[in-house]
Structure 1
């Protein structure tokens, strides 16, 4: 039986229900499978966008193939370039909607360009000979069929071949055509590794294409772009940008381990995904950082390069490949054959460390060796990170082989005396004696759980089962230790099913579903509880730690008061999920304490040393309240050059208080210290002037203040502003009527970074002639998750239209004595005289369901709403559309679209009316007009399409 005949048999079996698999079962089956093993062992892949429209563009298939061959194309070149990058696979994107739908293989199925030379077959054979897998890109999208002014899809030829009329320019027709191509490829190329599929086609899904691929080629991989489809082996996250640091690609992903995940990104800084005639620069810093950061989250780096017509890479991309061929080998063991640490596979905590340092941890699951990748070096000569209970026995610089000094206490590993930094990634190999200090047998319960995801999953030892809070907030988890025991900290591993970097990705709002504000209480009997600690956790990946001092209790309760997600991200709003919570009873201790410990400094007055399990070195100095007479003095704080430095003081404070620092006998500098625990240190920083060589630093304060340690590092660069979220409403252009108008403005500033900012002020600024009612919102200081809110009314001059103005809202604050700020604005314009009502689609007065906002430079207000349609919740609703009288009106709809699509418009809950539109290019606004009947006063208008994608929406108006 041929493969095509077998295909028919499989279809029949599927339809008969013999191969039926539920979606949930399929999802469980496809998370792990032996066919995935080669990809799990991979670090990277090479993505090649190359086809007819590779510059110089070809519109004739035969001419393109002639120039490919005549230019000297060879498959071995691509395979060798992949190996330079440490890539285990190549994805070939030639049957691509923006590259002419060319097929790089001889095809018996007419409909678009197909080569006579078997380019795909040659590439597969070359890869097989050198241990590199080849995956074929397939598109579902016919909408770019005539982008170049020439029809690239031949509906007549395919219709004659199939014996029925098929329009390839429609999704249904293109689905039939591409469906046939899948089976042709499966029959011809046994050694292909699988398909990389750019989204789904309804025809494929209806005819169970993926299930048939599983039956016919069970060892092939399936990957889907931008969405996590259960039957697929991988989810690929395309071109995420805007994170801080910019290389931290995992911050924008949303797929928990052990699900296979790719980061798909362009290596060239600018230009198209394919060669457009230019040799665009490659940012080595950015892309080495991505490579390492992805490895630290078990994400595969699928790096897109832009080969020319003859297959050769542009010079700057080839140069990057050559650089990687020399840069990776010395640290190969730390990025290949490893998993991301701090998650499912164990390991220390990745992310932001001391003094601006940032990096990831990788772990070898077989040997247990961990690798600390310092991608952004600190402004100090040491790196300090959470050890997650691992007792460290040795540290060496992987590139140089140098054995490093280190200390360990208070839950932290400090690697000291670092003088040699790699420009892109300093790697330390860390040997450990395993994890210690955690209780086993802890039982968990919760005040709310979603069916199938109970609280017992929190302490079952598996990151693959989890607790779902069922959208309840606040919500509490109680941990029963079995009897009264000592507890020191909680280690919380949250589900990595939401990004930590909030952005609009393909029109979908994203935000972190992780814990923001929390409270910990304790009890001996489960009925009477005492307060232990209140605080906030950063929106960050990896295990998070809550130190609680030395507690003696049977029960601990973690109450989650709120998460980082907001209502603008309905997919993640209140969707708290936690894999594991472990209770730690002690911290690993090293053989030596780190430098600048308070207990080693000179003390005066009532200052005294005492035990502190959570402190560095296991001790602190207390009794520093009451002024300068009770102090700790460090007499040898040395720096190489004179200047201003960041002095970090790790302090304990049982009450709200302040700390003062005198440097070399100068007048003291002071900072506020918020109330926390007397046995858990937290950082407070000051900018201090130091002289070259030795300095004397004296520390004292008010209230019940204790000092654990101090450290010195450089100040943040002038370009650094702590991450904040400034929400200004109303959002979007406000279209005002004629004459004097008032605009109510509300603003909220949230500090998202683990920094302290001081002298915070939030206030709008109005143009000359306008008046502002309301005072600035101010705060003396803010720390992680702190909020500052204000409301004002801005009024335009009497007797005038507002014209076109912007009402900026600014937040200013000081960071270590330096001025910083962020801003937003409310744009206001007078609506046109022939319009009774105008509102932007992105206006905060609307409701958006599961749609999302997206930038659009050509659109009114610079934004639009995307991802409308496909389900009932993917709709935009305009409430409070006000007209003066009941009657018939003209509704003007401003939109962008590529190809024919439809809105269904519902007015005041009435029957939906289909509005069919067409256009070319999702960045070109068009306007259509429909009649509507409205009531006097407020009306509601909804734009959606429950069954198919609708156009993007820019603005509506009533005339």
Structure 2
């Protein structure tokens, strides 16, 4: 991949528009059929600067041929990976802009040997298609002192002066190359385009391709451009678990989507010498989870000069050829399950398990891929109404014992775990107990006209709340009916968590806090369920117990997205809502069900009917008795999960010891809620006695998570960014919020800043006895220093999880302002408005961050409010920045006419400083820095002299 700023106007607008509205793209076309049927592709970065680096085109071509390059090797290696296409990435900004075909158009390296043509022919013979990578970006033309672009030669060819180092000139050059390739290679599958060039858009390149070669596919990187067939997503990282690539993807099905990632764990996208390792766990996990979300895995390998892959990459290819063979039917001809194609619920399952579902569209067979195995020998997942008739281990064919009840499938007694993906083939009789969509009418409090899309059975239509929250959806069942749960299909148009991608903030636009109401007449409503949904992909379920009503209302109070991600904040879109009146017929028994005949019942404790419970029974009367679980096997101290109904407390006694009190959170009648506690079990058999005021469905025992485990939280602290202060006593207002992001409660929560000796804090720590999924603890304090000094003030949240003390922290950095500055502020400071720009890391920058993606539109600017000076007059405004090439800022003070500031530099990680005179008012001023017409440099900070 090339490294660049996405700063042109079209790119910025296309990305923002794609995040908040449908792409209006051509979702289905016969030219896409082959890619829809694909699981994977091979991304080949290979060119003049492949090690050993060449600067002479003829010498590079000679050495490639002399080294024994052959197209069949690449095609065969692709087939080992299950790849049905290859993207040849040679006309690349960081690889010398080489063209691996005998081009008649001068301007950059072109070979005499037709490497591209040979590859296309070899692929066609073996059923592998070839796409050609095309870059839009000339900025790296002289990256290391060698000029890769020949403007003079191209100008002579065109009969007019053209500067290939400019975006317009390079765009014209690229346009000609597209035409040449289309004329030469009718069997080329299409183009993989690394972002748009303004010249291409202005001159209708993509429309021209559609007219000239309607069968060729168009793919674009990191943008949802409507005319493109495919949305590609480059090197997403930071997920939990790390392999779950789809968590970072924001394009809903059925849009064709790729995940583009490196197989070598380290190093460049291209071969730069050495034999880089391949992380088998990460790479296989990505492969499987992408398949489980109908995302194509475009895997980048680093071919050497002669085309061969380094030994560790070859070894991975050989491994994949054998490892995927027994599970091929679950990966080929399948779609992601839990989405528009049906299937059970993917994601986080029991006891640390995580995986995805693949389904055969139109068939009743689906596949459960356990990528992270649980700490126990069973897998338990939501069945989405499918009645299961049989389960088998796909690799071995071994039939598996299973149980089903209360909306869950449990696969039991699993002994043969695959290291990377244990796959179970699940045969079903289809979905049961869902009301016919034709009998339900939907209305909404916002954008009500489109609410009918929620029950039309089509995922090509959806309901958008139009930026309004809270918002509600009302479902009219036609008459008074029973309801057990709602299956909510949220539109997969955002990542699942807060992140930055190419410097732009992203966040989850999924439901967080909700309420469900019921009514017999549509006028008088009663609350039947309150809670929070996790920010995860796939169908989500809201159990309501047993409700008898004609009308149901789902009120969404908020979503997970924060205000830092403007494209996602207050956005909500839903594809479908299904209403279920029951669960598939129960079968089998899950270990440690409360009503099991193996248990002992004391006093008034006895089993009663509970449709949503495991085994369709729970034990009540525990306030006047107890249930005793005998022969509970464990390996030592364990995590005990209690699935309960009602509310109150439970007393848990282990092996006759003093009882441990467990608080059961309140919930609706007939709704099962899990609560976990650490218990001192012995290795071997144990006895657990449970009494109390709640109902008990089942218990589950698993090893405690590792000591390093900390439930995922989001800690937001302001001010963010280095705070530059003047001499003397200083006070800062600090605010913080802690949010729990997983359904794993934390207890004894405390949040406060921790100041150095000599400092004072006004305000006590804020505390909560517990936090559950989505709940927030917030506080505000004033911290005061005796004198200006360079310090870091951590704002720390401490809490207990399963009896272990944990903490998370974020710093507020305070530094003394230099003596020759009267004001200084970081560009990434939370006091600023960065609009459509974004914050990114920069090790060489002040505070370790900078603002990128400035310019190209009026919205992509940084506005500094409250720039305060003591006296009116002229000051010198210093701009600390990074830039590669020649660019301009436009600086406006207090809404005045913008002044252009031209800058130049080499390398986006090298800080520079420039200055411009500005006239300021006494007191607060506002300074805006941007470039409405073109990309501007990245901005580190500003200061006043």
TM-score normalised over the length of structure 1: 0.95
Matched ranges for 1:284-683 at <5 A? 284-440=280-436, 441-450=438-447, 454-600=450-596, 601-625=599-623, 630-639=625-634, 641=635, 643-653=636-646, 655=647, 657-683=648-674
The match for 1:856 among 837, 842, 845 is: 842
- Residue 758 of structure 1 is matched in structure 2 by 747
Deviation at 1:886, TM superposition (A): 1.1
Deviations 1:294-353 (A, max 9, x none): 000000000001011111101111111111011000100111111000001000000000
User: Which secondary structure state, in structure 2, belongs to the residue aligned with residue 431 of structure 1?
Assistant: strand
Q: Distance in 1 between matches of 2:439 and 2:877?
A: 62
Q: Distance in 1 between matches of 2:21 and 2:923?
A: 52
User: Which secondary structure state, in structure 1, belongs to the residue aligned with residue 74 of structure 2?
Assistant: helix
Deviations 1:104-125 (A, max 9, x none): 0001000000011000001101
- Residue 788 of structure 2 is matched in structure 1 by 801
User: Which secondary structure state, in structure 1, belongs to the residue aligned with residue 675 of structure 2?
Assistant: strand
Q: Distance in 1 between matches of 2:417 and 2:595?
A: 31
Q: Distance in 1 between matches of 2:178 and 2:502?
A: 27
Q: Distance in 1 between matches of 2:22 and 2:203?
A: 17
- Residue 935 of structure 2 is matched in structure 1 by 949
User: Does the aligned pair in 2 maintain the 1:448–1:470 contact within 8 Å?
Assistant: no
TM-score normalised over the length of structure 2: 0.96
Deviation at 1:671, TM superposition (A): 2.2
- Residue 771 of structure 2 is matched in structure 1 by 782
- Residue 43 of structure 2 is matched in structure 1 by 47
1:896 equivalent in alignment to 2:885: no
1:693 equivalent in alignment to 2:684: yes
Q: CA RMSD in A?
A: 1.3
Deviations 1:469-510 (A, max 9, x none): 011111010000000000000000000011103211001100
User: Which secondary structure state, in structure 2, belongs to the residue aligned with residue 599 of structure 1?
Assistant: coil
User: Which secondary structure state, in structure 1, belongs to the residue aligned with residue 796 of structure 2?
Assistant: strand
Deviation at 1:819, TM superposition (A): 2.0
User: Does the aligned pair in 2 maintain the 1:490–1:581 contact within 8 Å?
Assistant: yes
1:144 equivalent in alignment to 2:164: no
Deviation at 1:605, TM superposition (A): 2.1
User: Which secondary structure state, in structure 1, belongs to the residue aligned with residue 885 of structure 2?
Assistant: coil
- Residue 182 of structure 1 is matched in structure 2 by 178
Q: Which runs of 5+ in 1 are unaligned?
A: 1-23
Q: Distance in 2 between matches of 1:464 and 1:718?
A: 45
User: Does the aligned pair in 1 maintain the 2:25–2:225 contact within 8 Å?
Assistant: no
User: Does the aligned pair in 1 maintain the 2:367–2:423 contact within 8 Å?
Assistant: yes
1:736 equivalent in alignment to 2:725: yes
- Residue 162 of structure 2 is matched in structure 1 by 166
User: Does the aligned pair in 2 maintain the 1:678–1:706 contact within 8 Å?
Assistant: no
- Residue 203 of structure 1 is matched in structure 2 by 199
User: Does the aligned pair in 1 maintain the 2:545–2:668 contact within 8 Å?
Assistant: yes
1:131 equivalent in alignment to 2:127: yes
Deviations 1:74-105 (A, max 9, x none): 11111111001000000011000000000000
Q: Distance in 2 between matches of 1:147 and 1:591?
A: 66
Deviates more, 1:736-745 or 1:713-722: 713-722
- Residue 921 of structure 1 is matched in structure 2 by 907
Aligned length: 923
- Residue 110 of structure 1 is matched in structure 2 by 106
Deviations 1:159-212 (A, max 9, x none): 000001000000000000011000000000111100000000000000000001
Deviates more, 1:353-362 or 1:682-691: 682-691
Q: Closer, same or farther in 2 for the Cα pair 1:796/1:25, shift >3 Å?
A: closer
Deviates more, 1:909-918 or 1:741-750: 909-918
Q: Distance in 2 between matches of 1:897 and 1:659?
A: 62
Q: Distance in 1 between matches of 2:379 and 2:798?
A: 31
Q: Closer, same or farther in 2 for the Cα pair 1:509/1:26, shift >3 Å?
A: closer
Deviations 1:34-81 (A, max 9, x none): 111110010000001111111111111111111111111111111111
Q: Closer, same or farther in 2 for the Cα pair 1:880/1:446, shift >3 Å?
A: farther
Deviations 1:668-689 (A, max 9, x none): 1222211112311110111112
1:279 equivalent in alignment to 2:275: yes
Deviations 1:546-578 (A, max 9, x none): 000000000000000000001100000011000
User: Does the aligned pair in 2 maintain the 1:392–1:590 contact within 8 Å?
Assistant: no
Q: Distance in 1 between matches of 2:730 and 2:423?
A: 60
Deviation at 1:636, TM superposition (A): 2.3
Deviation at 1:443, TM superposition (A): 3.4
Deviation at 1:29, TM superposition (A): 5.6
Q: Distance in 2 between matches of 1:366 and 1:82?
A: 29
Deviations 1:873-931 (A, max 9, x none): 11111000001111111110111111112222111011122222121111111111111
Q: Distance in 2 between matches of 1:884 and 1:356?
A: 58
Q: Closer, same or farther in 2 for the Cα pair 1:781/1:92, shift >3 Å?
A: same
Q: Which runs of 5+ in 2 are unaligned?
A: 1-19
The match for 2:264 among 268, 275, 279 is: 268
Q: Distance in 2 between matches of 1:271 and 1:134?
A: 25
Deviations 1:561-619 (A, max 9, x none): 00000110000001100000111000002332322111123222232322111111111
1:885 equivalent in alignment to 2:871: yes
User: Does the aligned pair in 1 maintain the 2:364–2:429 contact within 8 Å?
Assistant: no
Q: Distance in 1 between matches of 2:445 and 2:826?
A: 39
Q: Distance in 1 between matches of 2:274 and 2:441?
A: 59
Q: Distance in 1 between matches of 2:509 and 2:443?
A: 18
User: Which secondary structure state, in structure 2, belongs to the residue aligned with residue 77 of structure 1?
Assistant: helix
User: Does the aligned pair in 1 maintain the 2:444–2:451 contact within 8 Å?
Assistant: no
Deviation at 1:26, TM superposition (A): 12
Deviation at 1:692, TM superposition (A): 3.1
User: Does the aligned pair in 1 maintain the 2:25–2:228 contact within 8 Å?
Assistant: no
Q: Distance in 2 between matches of 1:204 and 1:554?
A: 56
Deviation at 1:366, TM superposition (A): 4.3
Deviation at 1:25, TM superposition (A): 14
Q: Distance in 1 between matches of 2:740 and 2:901?
A: 44
Deviation at 1:768, TM superposition (A): 1.7
- Residue 824 of structure 2 is matched in structure 1 by 838
Q: Distance in 2 between matches of 1:28 and 1:97?
A: 30
Deviations 1:1-51 (A, max 9, x none): xxxxxxxxxxxxxxxxxxxxxxx9995462111111110010000001111
Q: Distance in 1 between matches of 2:834 and 2:603?
A: 63
- Residue 701 of structure 2 is matched in structure 1 by 712
Q: Distance in 2 between matches of 1:888 and 1:215?
A: 58
Deviates more, 1:484-493 or 1:819-828: 819-828
User: Which secondary structure state, in structure 2, belongs to the residue aligned with residue 124 of structure 1?
Assistant: helix
Deviation at 1:150, TM superposition (A): 1.4
Deviates more, 1:225-234 or 1:898-907: 898-907
